[in-house]
Amino acid sequence: MRYKPHDYQKYAINFIKEHPIAAILLDMGMGKTSIVLAALNDLIFDSFEVSKVLIIAPLRVAKHTWSTEIQKWDQLNGLRYSIVVGTAAERRRALMVDADIYIINRENIPWLIEKSGLPLKKFFNTSGLAYKALGLKDRLPTMSEEEQYQLLASDGMLVKRPLVVGEDFVLVGFREAQWQEQL
């Protein structure tokens, strides 16, 4: 089926493409997923600004919604995705798939962080605007791990990048020696 976005959807797609920090707040059924996918498709294949995407969603949405939308729209048929849910072995296999988009449920963020062997605080983008705006330098030490996981799941701009997940490693941030050793 051909995706023909409404004017408000076109506006939202362009807003995402033009703003590194964006939120799309629409009622259920108004096309949030298709808007994000259309923007990602353009950012990956047209402007080459993005190469890999990690989507964090509730379990049911991670398992079904994103893949259904990708398969539904003709313009998105070039997007390769991998759903990173299930057992630890299934998640590791899903992360090894060559994909443009990796879809994980928010309950698996602790697994991803544990797999790295790094402390949770290392996953925060401490130089980012969102981190500073929320005053997290002072707030993080007083927050529970669960609150910190929820915070990471709520805003991708809080996650330190690049984030590379291999079969038996997770790299957070760029440290050349570490990358040469693992890759």
Rg (CA), the chain: 17
Percent of the chain clearing pLDDT 70 (strictly above): 98
**Two structure tokens written together for 116:** 């790295």
pLDDT at 167: 67
Which tens digits make up the pLDDT trace of 110-121?
A: 888 888 888 889
Q: How far is CA 26 from CA 12, 30, 39, 82, 181, in A?
A: 10, 6, 16, 26, 44
Specify the fold of 7-182: Rossmann fold (3.40.50)
State the Cα–Cα distance between residues 143 and 15, nearest whole angstrom. Answer: 32
Q: How far is CA 44 from CA 99, 112, 149, in A?
A: 12, 24, 27
Note down pLDDT in tens along the chain; length 183 residues: 999 999 999 999 999 999 877 778 889 889 999 999 999 999 999 988 888 888 888 899 999 999 999 999 999 989 999 999 999 889 889 988 999 999 999 888 888 888 888 888 988 989 888 899 999 999 999 999 999 988 888 887 888 877 777 767 777 877 788 777 776
**Two structure tokens written together for 86:** 């299930």
pLDDT at 173: 79
Task: Break the chain into its structural domains and give their ranges.
Answer: 7-182
pLDDT at 179: 75
**Two structure tokens written together for 132:** 């500073």
pLDDT at 41: 94
Instruction: Specify whether the CB–CB gap between 82 and 102 falls below 8 A.
Output: yes
